[in-house]
Amino acid sequence: MQNKTFFITGIDTNIGKTFVSLLLILAFRQKGLNAGYMKPVETGVKINKDGSKNYIDGHYLKEISGLEADIETVTPYTFQSPLSPYAASKFEGGTVCLKEIIYKFYDLKGTYDYMIVEGAGGMLVPLKQGHFMIDIAKYIDAAVILVTKAGLGMINHTLLNIEYAKSHGIKIAGIIINNALNETDESVLSNKKILSAYTDIPFLGDIPYLQTEKDLKDRDLLEGLALKYIDIENILG
Ligand SMILES: Nc1ncnc2c1ncn2[C@@H]1O[C@H](COP(=O)(O)OP(=O)(O)OP(=O)(O)O)[C@@H](O)[C@H]1O
Ligand SMILES: [Mg+2]
């Protein structure tokens, strides 16, 4: 792939976008390439007793990957309400400035070979009046990677996302299946094959469920997982 910026979206919230972003960064690193991370907007961010913010995605990613960028640059916009950014900003006041996100993105990009930018929720999460989350990918000229589930329903959800993207001039560069939900139904075995009859978009990964919280924080284990289950050669083109 020519592109050096990837926008990670998903068929839903909690589908594993942050986890996949982390694995991508670890996979790049093992190829001798450094990748930065940005999560431009995060909602549901609680305020700690000392007034600091409890960034969930940025903190996890920074902690495991060791990325040094400061958290306010990684995530310039936060809202406490567990709502879409548009709804949260209406409720709490303030607005999301796309220009600011783009400015911060290019600032970060300057120090890395590759950039991974994670959306909040899925493509059509309202970002601000007149804009959806996926608009960020367009403005930063990113290749879009769609994270999807492993079990029953994945074909429908994945194809709906692909069809929307196609009809709106958005190119999905790849699909990553992530079994965050520990799905074990019969369809898990055939979904990828059936789906590939309906789309030419390459599968860039098929990540199994990790059993323990400890595994999700074990950098050595995750590095091995990234090399085994992410098709980094395809991503690098
Ligand atoms: N392959 C996996 N095995 C086990 N647990 C996973 C896996 N992938 C993700 N998880 C867990 O599932 C939860 C959701 O994952 P993650 O935070 O990456 O989702 P997300 O799509 O980034 O969510 P959000 O929309 O809130 O940003 C987390 O607790 C994460 O640790
Ligand atoms: Mg996330």
- pLDDT score, position 53: 97
Q: Rounded distance, CA 181 to CA 184, Å? A: 9
- pLDDT score, position 25: 98
Provide the 8-state DSSP code for 150.
S
5-236 has which CATH code?
3.40.50.300
Look up tokens 């007034």; give the residue.
51
The partner residues of 177 in beta bridges, in order of sequence, read 148, 206
- pLDDT score, position 67: 97
- pLDDT score, position 237: 86
Pocket flag, ligand 1, residue 178 (CB < 6 Å): yes
Q: How many helical (H) and strand (E) elements, i.e. helices and strands, does the chain have?
A: 10, 12
Catalytic residue among 17, 31, 39, 128: 39
Pocket flag, ligand 1, residue 180 (CB < 6 Å): yes
- pLDDT score, position 2: 77
Which residue, judged by its Cα, is nearest atom 11 of ligand 1? Answer: 180
- pLDDT score, position 197: 98
Which residue, judged by its Cα, is nearest atom 26 of ligand 1? Answer: 14
Taking the centre of ligand 2 as the mean of its atom positions, its distance from the CA of residue 51, in whole angstroms, is 22
Structure tokens at 5: 């910026």
Calculate the CA 199 to chain-centre distance.
21
Pocket flag, ligand 1, residue 18 (CB < 6 Å): yes
> Where are the alpha helices (H) located in 31-144, listed in sequence order?
57-65, 71-74, 85-92, 98-109, 134-139
> Does 214 participate in catalysis according to the annotation?
no
pTM of the model: 0.98
Residues of the chain with pLDDT below 70 are: none
